[in-house]
Amino acid sequence: MIINRDVVENFDHCGRIITDEFEERFPDGLNISGLWGKEKERKVVWDMLLDDDFLVEQIGWAISVGILPARMLIDGKELKLGSVALCGVDISEMDLRGIDLFETNLREANLYKSNLHKAKLCSINLSRANLRSTNLNEAFLRGSNLSGASLNGASIREANLSDTDLTGANLCEADLYGADLYDANLSNADLSHANLHKANLCYAVLRDTKLTYTKFGNVIYNKCTVFPKGFDVKWLEGECMAMREAPRMYSLNPLKIVDYVEAKE
């Protein structure tokens, strides 16, 4: 497949690629046929795209509109993608287990139902991204920006979310069993019906966080954990506690703690 000016103009409905610059750089078109070839052929094209500052800025857009195949991300698991702009890219329902996207910009990306089990997502920008029903079990997200992200229904069991920005994130019904939320900012996030069983909330900030029917069984916290105004922590015993037997849930309306009989680990 050769990308030329006509192809770019056909897809460039939102003006995100400067067609004149593309034609000036590639007057004979850009041959990306290798992306559909064998592993070595795909790597040659990958290297060409990542070595060109202009093309790197267009990769996310090109994948979203279908010029480049989304399978590139799978092929590029061992490549450094930190310089790639993947803002708004649609990589939903993809198997990206173990992928390394260190410092990649995935702002407003669509990762709905993608499999990111044990993915290395340290220091990346996932603000306002669609991560609904995504598998993030054991993923490494330390220091990442997930502000305003949609994580409702996501499985984030035993993931490292320490020092993450989750302000305004939607975590309704998310499974955060055993997740490390040390020093995470969850201000104004929605954790309704979320499972925080055995999660680490030491130094975490939950200011104005919605905690309607959130499960807190065996949750860990300390004196520096900031809970929402009105949250009664008397039932959370100890400075860094191990809750007793059954998981429980907290409701802000009304303010009370009740046994959660149906909860399951």
What local confidence, expressed as pLDDT, does residue 239 receive? Answer: 30
Give the whole-angstrom CA distance, residue 33 versus residue 67: 11
Task: For Cα atoms 184, 126, 53, give the angle at the middle one, nearest 5 degrees.
Answer: 130
User: How high is the pLDDT of residue 96?
Assistant: 86
Burial class (CB in 10 A: 0-12, 13-18, 19+), 6: exposed
Residue 56 near residue 45 (C-beta atoms within 8 A): no
Q: Which bin fits 84, alpha (ψ -120 to 50), beta or left (φ > 0)?
A: beta
164-208 confidence digits (pLDDT tens) = 999 999 999 999 999 999 999 999 999 999 999 999 999 999 999
Residue from 225, 209, 214 nearest 251 by CA: 214
Spans in the chain with pLDDT lower than 50? 14, 77-78, 237-265
Burial of 20: CB neighbours in 10 Å, binned 0-12, 13-18, 19+: exposed
Measured from the Cβ of residue 233, the count of other Cβ atoms closer than 10 Å reads 12
Per-residue pLDDT tens for 45-60? Answer: 878 887 887 877 777 7
The full set of domains in the chain, from first to last, is 1-82 (no CATH), 86-265 (2.160.20.80)
For residue 195, the model assigns a pLDDT of 93
- Beta strands at 30-31 and 2-3: parallel, antiparallel or unpaired: antiparallel
Instruction: Determine the pLDDT at residue 256.
Output: 32
